[in-house]
A and B are shown apart, each in its own frame.
Chain A
Amino acid sequence: MSEFDVMPGNKAVAHGVRLSRAEVIPIFPITPQTTIVEYLAEFIANGQLKAEYIQAEGEHTCLGIAVGASLAGARAFTATCSQGLAYMHEVVAQAPAYRTPLLMAVANRTLGWYWALGPDYSDMMPELNLGWLVSLAESNQECLDMVIQLYRISEDWRVLLPSMLSLDGFYLSYSYERVNIPEQEAVDSFLPPYKAPYPVDPTISDKWPASGLPPALHTTYRRLFEEVMEDAKRVINSVDEEFGEVFGRRYGGLIEEYRCEGADAVLVTMGSMTTAARRAVDRLRGMGEKIGLVKLRFLRPFPSSELRRIAEGVKAIGVVDRMVLHGTGGGGAFSDVRSALYSMDERPHVINFIAGMGGDDISIEDFVSMGRKTLKAAYEGRPEREVEFIEHRPEAAPPPVQLEEVMPIYPGSDGCAGCGSSIIIRHLLKVLGPNTVVVNPPSCSGVNFGGVVAVPWVLANYAAAAGYETGLYRAYRIKGKADKIYLTSFSGDGGTVDIGLQAISGAAERNESFIWLCYDNEAYMNTGIQRSSSTPLFASTTSSPAGRVWAGKPEKPKNMILIMAAHRIPYIATASIAYLADLERKIRRAAEVTRAGRGMAYIHVQQPCATGWYFPPEKTVEVARLAVQTGVWPLLEIEDGVLKVNIKPRELKPVEEYLKLQGRFRHLSKEQIATIQAEVKKDYESWLALEKMGKLPWY
């Protein structure tokens, strides 16, 4: 028996992936996608799904893993959105030519530009024309069902293209609905295991996907791809029919028509907005208006002939767009609909409404008004404006609390109570003063402090933050300002040890004179506590949960201090929020080194996180102190290659005293604690041994 449950869209996607028996699942967290891969981690940790689960160090790698797995003949799944999808772009372009039928869920979120978390299709827009199938879901049930359908469609040898499943962030990703979970047996017979025609596997195949073509054949293969897209339309429609016969739910294939019979005008919508648009159509129909609705279920392949068929019967079409093609004056779907209809002898008026950008809600009233305007165009002809932006005023934000003193950072913030990074940023800016520029890769801190800082706070793209900082530094240098402005990052561990590392390494090798400060809370806290390569051994996170099969993160963290020391930069230090005099001294030293133009200074501060490490907020500083006293977080600095351990407790406290305060270690067995103790002792003694060397020999 299939069963019902109430769940958010992200969980519905995860169930779909579980039922589809995805074999390789590379992940990288990003709001509002993250809980999809968290649910999958839970399934795997508890033995409900058997799959390779890999937390990549960035989205570019993440999609690379999915393509690699698919090339080898495995069923691959990943999920992302917004900035993450943009960072994947190059790999997105590669996947169709390799004919890798992987599935990527995109929990839509606007692409910065100005940053926000809510959905629009500006993230998918740059990816639309690269050869993927792009489908959009309206409900959580449709999310689950389309995962299964899309694998079936993509893996069909007439198609063999990757698929994107769009679900609107927040409106679907986090909103709960009743969802039917099909039976595993039924899904298994509907979706047999993936069989790659040319797997990259020399033990079974002498053939594999080509990576290049002679230029003369490019035009030909582009034409062939367009034919495959046409074939895909037939497969999409027939898979939907078959799905309906087996599971009792049909969606209409490429489009769904709602109350279009006898309509003079139709609204064209896509995604979750459609539900509100249906209610608006109901309301207008109730008043006797002849209006219907067409839901675009696929943007690629684009349902051109279906739209032409509908256009034959109506006088006006109002396309509601959640994406703007800047420089064209209108939206993406508008442009596609108009070009699909252009070959008709008699065309209806097509007008465009741009609405809901950045996740702005499109209300039923908005749709009623759009419906009326479309009806007016049907009866009175083309309106004055072809494109209209449906705009709302924001709620007034409370004004800041005025204080007499001018400070580089004002009191209060959006951070959790007891936030350790708040302690760090306040001491950092206290030492560096008002002429400081902070480069901030995405993290909690941008959200928390972006509104209370009174120094320039440059939100930088995740993997490029050290690039932003290099550019700022070089501009200051050429303008004679390098010794007048302090330049520092305020970066989390993800932005430092994972996705940011390549750019940091580049800057360190060039020895750019700026400060890189990493506040290390040992996981991706901003997206909800996923493991980073700074997460300690055996810690439970939402992407390395302790469960029946898993026992927390199995790997030790990267040794970032030695990685930086390998670049021979002049100043490197670790610090702790429990030892503020030491922290401030190290910030001051880093400022002196960089101001003198001697090169890069790197400070790595451990930041206990009450929310992510699961301890009461009042213990933030206590936990930090215990980390130092147990040897878990040694305080040290490396100046011009000379390593010094700054604080040496006479005797290290047992590591258990540190671990037992934190929920992320609650699942530990005695053996695991003993392993951690041995590793801490080994690492601590290694630092002491390096200190004895005097100067690190490679400096």
Chain B
Amino acid sequence: MGLFVYSESMIKGFAIADRTKRGGQYVGAWRVLAPSIDYEKCTGCMLCAMYCPEAAIVAGGERKPRVDLRFCKGCGVCANECPAKAVAMVKEER
């Protein structure tokens, strides 16, 4: 849990937070369904990225979104919000 992320400091008994040691949190294992983008339909509006609660959708090539599955919990907000209906939630082979 985020509450328990700490670093040790140079002072005895003083636990600290250190922004230089922070990074993303792997949550890929939470997923049941994964978003799959149909790039034929995708207009590159990036609404999916803006609404993604996990910031798991980033700009890919050709100004189109790309899902970083390490951070995707599979909530489906992107698929629900896509105006072009270009995102489908699909069962993954893993």
Interface of A with B (CB < 8 Å)? Answer: 114-116, 397-403, 409-415, 417-420, 422-423, 426, 446-457, 459, 577, 580, 610, 616-622
Contacts and interface: CB of A to CB of B under 8 A. Distances in A.
Nearest to A445: B2
Contacts of B70: 401, 411-412
Query: Counting chain B CB atoms within 10 Å of each CB, which of A413, A447, A622 scores highest?
Result: A413
Contacts of B24: 400-403, 410-412, 452
Given A417-B30, A450-B5, A412 B71 contact: yes
Interface residues on B, range: 35 or more
Interface of B: 1-6, 15, 17, 19, 21-27, 30, 50-56, 68, 70-71, 73-77, 79-81, 89
Contacts of A450: 1-3, 5
Given A399-B23, A412-B27, 10 more contacts: A115-B3, A410-B55, A411-B55, A412-B24, A412-B26, A412-B71, A414-B25, A450-B3, A451-B1, A451-B2
Given A410-B25, A423-B51, A455-B19, A617 B75 contact: yes
B53 A415 contact: yes
Contacts of A459: 3
Contacts of A610: 75
A4 to B, nearest CB: 35
A496 B64 CA distance: 39
A456 B26 CA distance: 21
B26 A422 contact: no
Given A400-B23, A417-B30, A418-B76, A116 B2 contact: no
B50 A413 contact: no
B44 to A, nearest CB: 17
A426 B77 CA distance: 15
A412 B56 contact: yes
Nearest to B78: A618
Nearest to B15: A114
Contacts, number: 130
B35 to A, nearest CB: 10
A577 B47 CA distance: 12
Nearest to B89: A618
B75 A420 contact: no
B80 A580 contact: no
Query: Counting chain A CB atoms within 10 Å of each CB, which of B25, B26, B71 scores highest?
Result: B25
Nearest to B81: A621
Q: Is the interface of A mostly helix, strand, loop or mixed?
A: loop
Contacts of B4: 116, 397, 451
Nearest to A415: B53
B23 A403 contact: yes
B2 A447 contact: yes
Nearest to A419: B53
A27 to B, nearest CB: 24
Contacts of B23: 399-403, 410, 452
A420 B53 CA distance: 7
A400 B2 contact: no
Contacts of A449: 2
Contacts of A411: 24-25, 54-56, 68, 70-71
A622 to B, nearest CB: 6
A270 to B, nearest CB: 26
15 contacts: A400-B21, A401-B23, A402-B24, A410-B24, A411-B56, A413-B2, A414-B25, A418-B53, A418-B73, A450-B2, A451-B25, A452-B24, A457-B17, A617-B75, A622-B81
Given A115-B3, A116-B4, A620 B75 contact: yes
A459 B4 CA distance: 12
A506 B2 CA distance: 30
Nearest to A421: B53
B71 A580 contact: no
Contact of B22 (A397, A423, A453): A453
A446 B6 CA distance: 13
Contact of B53 (A116, A400, A423, A454): A423
A418 B15 contact: no
B59 to A, nearest CB: 12
A433 to B, nearest CB: 13
A411 B70 CA distance: 9
Contacts of A446: 2-3
B77 A617 contact: yes
